[in-house]
A and B are shown apart, each in its own frame.
Chain A
Amino acid sequence: MAGAGRPGPGSSSAAAATAAAVLVAAAGCWWGEGGSGGGGTSGPGELRVLAGSELADMEPLLERAAEETGVTVRMEYTGTLDGVEQVVGGRAEDRYDAVWFSSNRYLNLYPEGRGALRQETPVMASPVVLGVGEDKAGELGWEVADGAVTGVSWSGIAEAVDEGDLDYAMTGPAASNSGFSALVGVAAALADTGAALEPSDIDGVTGELRGFFAGQTLTAGSSGWLAEEYADRVRDPGGRPAPDAMINYESVLMSLEGDGIPGGLLPVHPTDGAVTADYPLSLLESASDGAAADYDALVEHLLSPEVQREIAADTRRRPMEPEALPEDARGAFPALPELPFPATAESADALIAAYYDRIRKPARTVYVLDVSSSMAGERIEGLRSAVHTLAGGDAGSIAGRFQRFYGRERVTVLPFSSSVHGPESFEVPEEEPDAMLASIRDHVDGLRPEGGTAGYDALADAYALLEEEDTEDVFTSVVLMTDGEINAGRTYDDFAADHAGLPDRLRAVPVFPVVFGESDPEEMEDLASLTGGRAFDAQGDDEASLDEAFREIRGYQ
């Protein structure tokens, strides 16, 4: 293929001709001279790729690709939704030559997304399925063959949930492609129309979906983090037992064996099919022709039988060249029917909205917010703006639609300074939430910074508040935002001692600390780890850093 030996300095004219035949692109630059088309600034032999975080496991293979093709891949990682926003918003084209997510299907529902991509090459594949331990499969009477569960449909899984025999972890569909693929697949399977879901089909299947998703007891904004948390809980439950099963990429489920889960989780290959990620490495329309040549070389390398074999062995993703695998290794990857993905953005968005507002268990969130004197000025403005984003201040963006407070969510704002202020709680209604969202916005606008930082006292109060409530059938979590060292009231050690004495159901409530201003990153990491949460960095110079952290946390709520 063209570009296989991207010409370096002093290369032959034949090679140069090869490179010149590569498709020229370039917004605003038509027939560039030689290899200089486009407005990109990648160096020769360097491809800048905006990638889904689940592709970090490709780094070793990409290093080898660099040695063999001369093309160095610079991966920058992001979540699926954020990546889609960057591309659709036109913010990817100046900074990257290509994007690489687990799927482009959601991106392609938007005209701006379709227009931004010049070429898409599926590199490997992995269906999104349920994974279950061998013992649990036996308990449920499911048939196990060749390291997988066979003969079970999505309805069969729903029945097991309904009988109270099965719970599972799954990522949030607005934040993560695996959760989205699962939602789409389950909805298509349970609606059983045989064709792509239309908005009008959703109401009819809402009851069944509610039954299915009643089994979801752990959520997260990233499939990788979910798998780690799951493995942690299997190894050391510490009051937070792992769910029976996990919905994730087949490859992630199969790789768990390496994470200390004996036997890993067996993928359930549903008789009615799955939605398959095909990891298309996608050249942006704006890429220079030099980058296009690099792209061709990289794609050719990745699709070579040897590399395809390594992908299957190292990442457990299915190769796009089935014959690359020795015959005895193909049994692990039986062909599955593909469940249809919605044809329109309207259908997809309606399904996501229904999931959060009506179908899954409601969210219960407590926002423990620092209003000490150091928050005065830009910081309190940033905080207000971040809460405004979640309270529906920006319905025009993808994030505004899916990262806002959900229908049926109970939100408590619990401010603190030298002491803990009175909590204020809001119930977001399932229908017409606008008035309640406006009250949340008004409430944070009224917060006034003053005094010290009694963060752990406030956190203890948050748990005390939740102790009064039924946390069984809700996704309960606490966000702690503080901009400085916690210097009043309880210390971290005091809090940890208190936490150890909490009942299990409260120990399972994660804290998501936002590392902001002068707050102590290490202590916040410890706090996250203690409570089963995750720390989010908002210390960037960007004014929107707090906003971004709050939005990212939505994926975990």
Chain B
Amino acid sequence: MRRITALVVSGLLVAGVLAAVVWNLAGPEPRRVTGVIGSEKAPFFADPDVVARLADLGYEVEVRTRGSRSIARSDLDGADFGFPGSDPSAEAFQREHGTEREYRPFYSPMVVLSHRPVAEALRGAGVASEEDDGTWTIDMAAFLDLTGDRARWRDLPGGGYGGAGRSEVLIRTTDPRTSNSAAMYLAVVAYLLNGEQVPQEPLDGGDAERIARLYLAQGAPPESSKQPFDQYAALGAGHTPLLWAYEAQYAGTRGSGTGLPDGAVVMYPAPTTVSNHTLLPLTDAGDAVGRLLTEDPELQRLAAEHGFRTADADLFAAAAEEADRPVRAQVADVVNAPAYEVVEGMLSGLEDAYADGGMPAPAEEASDTGGTDGGDPDADDADGGNPRDGAAPVRPPGAPPSRPAQTTESA
């Protein structure tokens, strides 16, 4: 399918004082609300200012982190909401729990963090370019060509980068078996390998092998997105030349314990994908928290300071400017993630590849786990017309719950 040419950020005005606020300010005890979230949002919920603001609004929010794959299927005993960080997980969650309501308080495009000499080497190889706003663009198709040749940093055309020893050119990711961030990389890579179309079923054969190698060749993967970020920030360009990361990890002034290294460079992959943080209420209390996160100006401002993009683009721009970090005002060239079953099928293939000690999964196995299970009406959507196949624009984040029931039901 076509790439989306621009991520349109709506200028939706958030207005109005919520009745809930008034009601709760009068009450002595904050209402306890529990949620299951992706770990990338843990620092936001642990931020004392976020906690205090939620308390002012009458809520005490307790969160439990879960991997993006398990969040939809985990035992949610007693939880008021789920809060995954990707569309496929959100879709699976809603299907699993038979819910429709959703809030999208903020989102974060995926970026590649690098270091100036590394970026220059990629520019020399015709893979990256610097933009006027101080950010860079990495051409992911050209990058994949380099990895297909198993190019090494120091051998790149144009002089290469000598600080990475004899290492191959690879992007460092988290563990695709457990981590949302690595699954976002999969979405971009699979799109390109599939002829610039969002795959409707898991890639197999040589494409599956290429995908497996992009992960396995990196070696033992970090479990969470924070750990490799800390290493990127502390241990230099030779240690982590390229890191697949949430833009929020880079742009935020809050939440991250570690600053950026000297000469840090942010690259926007072309194409990239977006981590849409979608709050899915299971109870009225969960719904209230979703609404507050989306509509309360103070919480939206705090989210922007954590590096997330919200409905009001100015909030994010202001936070990035305060942090003195160049960011791209409008992220163009965004692809959607494949449907949940397709992602899950490819992740299962990767799981097998890790278990098999580096041998990619047999092709037929990978497609068996795909989204074409007979009799599943939702899976049939993948055949065409599904808004998630890459044709539909990403909805304005921060918009009120708008996805109608038929989004996942109709073809």
Which chain A residues have a beta carbon within 8 Å of chain B's beta carbons?
A: 1-2, 4, 14, 17-18, 20-25, 30-31, 104-105, 108-109, 114, 117-122, 125, 189, 192-196, 198-200, 270-273, 276, 278, 280, 296, 299-300, 303, 318-323, 334-347, 350
Contact = CB atoms under 8 A, between A and B. Distances in A.
Interface stretch (B129-137, B201-209, B211-219, B382-390): B211-219
Interface of B: 30, 32, 34, 39, 42-43, 45-48, 50-52, 55, 60-65, 77-78, 150, 152, 163-168, 170, 175, 178, 215-224, 226-227, 230-231, 233-240, 257-259, 261, 354-358
Contact of A335 (B170, B217, B221, B236): B236
B64 A21 contact: no
A530 to B, nearest CB: 42
Which interface residue of A119, A195, A318 has the most chain B CB atoms within 10 A? Answer: A195
B234 A319 contact: yes
A14 B258 contact: no
A337 B30 contact: no
A376 to B, nearest CB: 47
Given A17-B60, A21-B60, A120-B224, A336 B236 contact: yes
Contacts of A342: 219-220
B227 A276 contact: no
A14 B235 contact: no
Which interface residue of A22, A109, A321, A343 has the most chain B CB atoms within 10 A? Answer: A343
Contacts of A344: 216, 354-358
Which interface residue of A4, A18, A338 has the most chain B CB atoms within 10 A? Answer: A338
18 contacts: A24-B34, A109-B220, A119-B224, A125-B234, A189-B165, A193-B168, A194-B166, A195-B167, A196-B217, A199-B357, A270-B165, A276-B239, A320-B233, A336-B235, A336-B236, A343-B216, A344-B356, A346-B356
Contacts of B223: 104, 108, 114, 117, 120
Contacts of A14: 52, 55
Contacts of A192: 166
Contacts of A323: 259
Which interface residue of B47, B78, B216, B356 has the most chain A CB atoms within 10 A? Answer: B216
Contact of A17 (B52, B168, B240, B259): B52
A195 B148 CA distance: 13
A135 to B, nearest CB: 28
Nearest to B63: A23
B64 to A, nearest CB: 5
B152 A18 contact: no
Nearest to B229: A122
A321 B234 contact: yes
A118 B63 CA distance: 13
A336 B164 CA distance: 7
A21 B259 contact: no
A195 B150 contact: yes
Contacts of B236: 334-336
Given A18-B48, A114-B223, A340 B64 contact: no
B168 A336 contact: no
Given A196-B219, A343-B216, A343-B219, A31 B78 contact: yes
A321 B259 contact: yes
B240 A338 contact: yes
B239 A108 contact: no
Contacts of A4: 48
Contacts of B65: 23, 118
Given A2-B48, A300-B257, A320-B258, A346 B357 contact: yes
B46 A276 contact: no
Given A21-B62, A303-B257, 5 more contacts: A18-B51, A20-B62, A21-B45, A320-B258, A321-B259
Contacts of B47: 1-2
A320 B259 CA distance: 10
B239 A21 contact: no
A270 B238 CA distance: 12
B219 A341 contact: yes
B231 A122 contact: yes
Contacts of A271: 165
Contacts of A31: 34, 62, 78
Nearest to B28: A13
A28 to B, nearest CB: 11
A122 B60 contact: no
Contacts of B61: 21
A122 to B, nearest CB: 5
B209 to A, nearest CB: 13
Contacts of A109: 220
Which interface residue of A21, A108, A122 has the most chain B CB atoms within 10 A? Answer: A21
A108 B221 CA distance: 8
A120 B168 CA distance: 27
Contacts of A17: 30, 51-52, 55, 60
Contacts of A189: 165-166
Contacts of B63: 21, 23-24
A21 B46 contact: yes
A196 B165 CA distance: 14
Q: Across chains A and B, which 7 residue pairs bring their CB atoms closest together, nearest first?
A: A335-B236, A346-B357, A337-B165, A340-B219, A196-B219, A194-B168, A195-B217
Contacts of B46: 1-2, 21-23, 296
A340 B217 contact: yes
Contacts of A30: 64, 77-78
Contacts of A300: 257
